[in-house]
Amino acid sequence: MAPTEEFFDLVESIGSGIVKHVVVPSYAIEHKIFVKDAIERWKDALLWTSPAQFSFPIRSIPSDFVFGKEVDGVLSSETPSGVIPPWADEIQYETLVAGTYNIGGKETTFYETAFFHIKSKSLIVTDAVAKIPKEVPELNDPELLLLVSKQSTSDIQPEDTYEQRLIGWKKTALLVSYFFPEHEEPDPNKFGVVTWTPGWEINFQQLSDRLLVPPVVRTLIYAQNPKRVKEWVDKVSSRWQFEQIIPAHFEAPIKASPDEFKRTFRFLEDDSIDAYPEKDLARGLKPIADIALGTVKIR
């Protein structure tokens, strides 16, 4: 979601109101596309990024065009840029290195930087973990929830009730988690029409109200190099005594300890632990993962 004036006002209401640093914790496009808006707002702020930033589909675009300015420092636990952020004694960081992809004809390594805010004892992550709420979160578009709530895309828009919005929320969570969930089926009698079949609520219950590694991240990213991910998890859970986790998606903050964070990644040693429904994975994530694994080079 693009930053709004309310977002900028909220950030500037904290402390002195002067924003001195902008941080890009991942190379994922959806997490950096609006950095340029922040730099335009806070022109004197220093820019810190995780390694291996790139543009798409043209990869050679200069960083000052992508972000609005040159990068001031790279946050890498393994290959430090030589520039230490002035906030490093207040907010520490560990950067995950988890596999190399061929994206746009060039090898690109996946990185995500996690942060520990010492004063609040908060672990801050982007995509590593999440908790999908069972109830409808605030700031969701009611019209979109009602649209998704329909049993069939050919049905008329239902009446706006909380119960109907809740159905829409649960189905939305399944869609963003699996892309093509098990119980969303093409209607054999109506071209271009999709119908939800019974059983989707059980699949949502398995997904929601717990600390988890999102299916997209677990299947497409972490499965490529479990050893490196485990090393990073061990560092994060042993180095910092956090009491809550603040992810970029879904519920936040999440009350969780380092041990709970570490347990969430038990699947790295045994993929059958906390496994997601196979049919939810098979239609969308597994084919994409197979393509990625066909081009991956593990480091």
Q: H/E/C letters for each residue in 61-73?
A: CCHHHHHCCCCCE
Do 120 and 168 fall within a single domain? no
Q: What is the pLDDT of residue 155?
A: 95
- Report d(CA 77, CA 13) in Å as an integer: 32
Are 257 and 175 found together in one domain? Answer: no
For residue 102, pLDDT over 70 is answered with no
Which domain CATH number covers 257? 3.60.15.10
Collapsing DSSP states into helix, strand and coil, what is residue 15? coil
Cβ atoms of 20 and 45 within 8 Å: the answer is yes
User: Do 149 and 227 lie in a common domain?
Assistant: no
> Under a CB-based contact definition with an 8 Å cutoff, are residues 71 and 63 in contact?
yes
What is the arithmetic mean of pLDDT over 22-40? 87
Q: What is the pLDDT of residue 105?
A: 62
Are residues 125 and 221 both part of a single domain? Answer: yes
**Which residue segment(s) compose the domain that 228 sits in?**
5-131+211-269
What is the phi/psi pair of residue 185, to 5°?
A: -120, 140
Question: For the chain, what is the domain count?
Answer: 2
pLDDT at position 45 over 50: yes
Task: Evaluate whether 295 touches 102 at the Cβ level (below 8 Å).
Answer: yes
232 within a domain of the structure (yes/no): yes
d(CA 155, CA 167) in angstroms, rounded, equals 15
More confident residue, 265 or 283: 265
End residue of a domain, out of 207, 225, 254: 207
Query: Where does a domain end: 207, 231, 259?
Result: 207
Q: What is the mean pLDDT of the chain?
A: 88
- Measured between its terminal Cα atoms, the distance across the chain in Å is 33
Same domain? For 222 and 202 the reply is no
